[in-house]
Amino acid sequence: MASLLDALDRERLLKDPAAAAGLLPRGEPPHVSLLRLCEAGLLVGGLTVGYGVRPDELMGPLTAAMGGAARRLKVVDVRERPALELHVAAGDVTERWEVEDGAALVHNLNDLYRDAADVRAVAVLGEWEDSLQLLCVERRALGRLLRQPFFAPVNARALADLVPRG
């Protein structure tokens, strides 16, 4: 586990390295340990989202964790039929999003802020303890994390497109 914890500490993603070390069982696969750390609230930028949480309820905590321009996103309207539809305003841009769950919301937010260097990208780490585990990551660290064997987010391909070039 030392390599996982060392890598997370180097990227400044661990809130409490000692607590993290004490939480992880020996021999556990590192990608599973990452889920465990997120659920325990030990990752900077980590969010645990219960299955009953609707995308419109997740919007505030998620955009706050993303930071930067995402904090100014406004939900103008929410329609529930036939599918959940969010009307959002980001500066001069207004959009309508059909979002069935938290992962779909993450996709739309990452896409909306794809060129905003001050907004953290959101990785969908996967499911753990009946919750969706998310991690908001600084874009400058995203490329390094994607090369780590323990970092296997569900949306890895989409995140690769958000890595700053140059």
Cβ–Cβ < 8 Å for 68, 120: yes
Whole-angstrom Cα distance, residue 74 to residue 56?
11
pLDDT in tens, 64-88: 999 999 999 999 999 987 889 999 9
Question: Is residue 2 very low, low, confident or very high in pLDDT (cuts 50, 70, 90)?
Answer: low
The average confidence (pLDDT) of the chain is 94
What strands, in cross-sheet order, belong to the sheet with 121-128?
46-50, 131-137, 121-128
Model pLDDT, residue 33: 96
Cα–Cα distance list, 87 to 12, 77, 117, 125 (Å): 34, 5, 24, 26
Percent of the chain with pLDDT over 90: 89
pLDDT in tens, 103-112: 999 999 999 9
The arithmetic mean of pLDDT across residues 118-137, rounded, is 96
Three-state secondary-structure class, residue 99? coil
Model pLDDT, residue 166: 64
DSSP state of 54: -
Cβ–Cβ < 8 Å for 87, 102: no
Model pLDDT, residue 66: 98
pLDDT in tens, 132-148: 999 999 999 999 999 99
pTM here is: 0.93
Of 117, 122, 79, 111, nearest to 98 (Cα)? Answer: 79
Task: Supply angle C-alpha 84, 130, 61, rounded to 5.
Answer: 55
Of 76, 46, 50, 51, nearest to 62 (Cα)? Answer: 46
